[in-house]
Amino acid sequence: GQQVMQIPQYQHVQEGEDFTTYCNSSTTLSNIQWYKQRPGGHPVFLIQLVKSGEVKKQKRLTFQFGEAKKNSSLHITATQTTDVGTYFCAARGSARQLTFGSGTQLTVLP
Amino acid sequence: DGGITQSPKYLFRKEGQNVTLSCEQNLNHDAMYWYRQDPGQGLRLIYYSQIVNDFQKGDIAEGYSVSREKKESFPLTVTSAQKNPTAFYLCASSHFWGNQETQYFGPGTRLLVL
C-alpha cells in the first residue's frame, strides 16, 4: 500500500523557536491532511491541502503542499507550550483511504 | 471530537479472550473507521465501513472483526487470534467516503493484555 514518510520523529524546541515537520510520498497524492494529537488525547483535524503548491495559514501555523503533490510541510512560528503534541500528516492517493505518517512529537521547553 | 464516543476508556484482556470495543457516533456520518496506534507510531487502519451492512479490511485486519448493523455504531472485536493486541484503539467517522472527507476521532480505548 501507499507509504508516507514523516520526519523528524521527535523535536524538542525552546519556547519561541520555530518548528517544521515534513511529509514525503513516493507517489503523487490527491490531497493531504494534517492532524494534531495532544498527549493522552486523540487526533484532531487541522487542515487539508488539495492544490499543487498550495499554502495555507492558521495563525502561527503554515501548511504547504509541494508542486509535484508528493510532499508537504507544517511550520510553526514562535512555538508556545500549547503547541505540544504529535503532528500527523495523512495522505490520500488513488486508493481514497487515508494513510497516516508516523507523526512528529513536538516538545516545547519553557 | 464531540459526537463520537468510545467505551471503555481502558480495557484489560486475558490471554485467549475476545473483547469488544464500542464506538458510537451521533453525527449522522456514513463512514466509520477503526485505527490502531502503537507508541511512537502513526495510525494504522484496521477496518472501515462506508455504509451500513458493509465493511472492508484495512491494512492490519488479521485478528479483528467488525459489524455495522446500524449507522451510528461500529463495534470492533479483538479476537484471541490477535497476538499483540496491546495498543490504543481509535474510532473515527466522516460525512462520506469521498476524496476530501475529513475524519473525526473518538477519545480512544487503551487495551492492555494481562
Lowest mean pLDDT among A86-95, A100-109, B55-64: A86-95
Q: Which helix (H) or strand (E) holds A107?
A: strand A104-109
Cell numbers for A80, please give them: 508556545
What is the distance between the alpha carbons of residues B109 and B23, in angstroms, rounded to a whole number?
10
Q: Do B42 and A6 touch (CB under 8 A)?
A: yes
pLDDT of residue B99: 66
Residue B34: which of B18, B19, B56 has the closest Cα?
B56
Q: Residue B2 pLDDT more than 60? A: no
Task: Tell me the one-letter amino acid at B43.
Answer: L
R_g of chain B, CA atoms, integer Å:
13
Cell numbers for A71, please give them: 510532499
pLDDT of residue B39: 84
Which chain A residues contact residue B58 at CB under 8 A? 97
Which chain A residues contact residue B100 at CB under 8 A? 31, 48, 50
| Mean pLDDT score of chain B | 91
pLDDT of residue A19: 98
Average of pLDDT values for A39-47?
94
Lowest mean pLDDT among A50-54, A65-69, A95-99, B9-13: A95-99
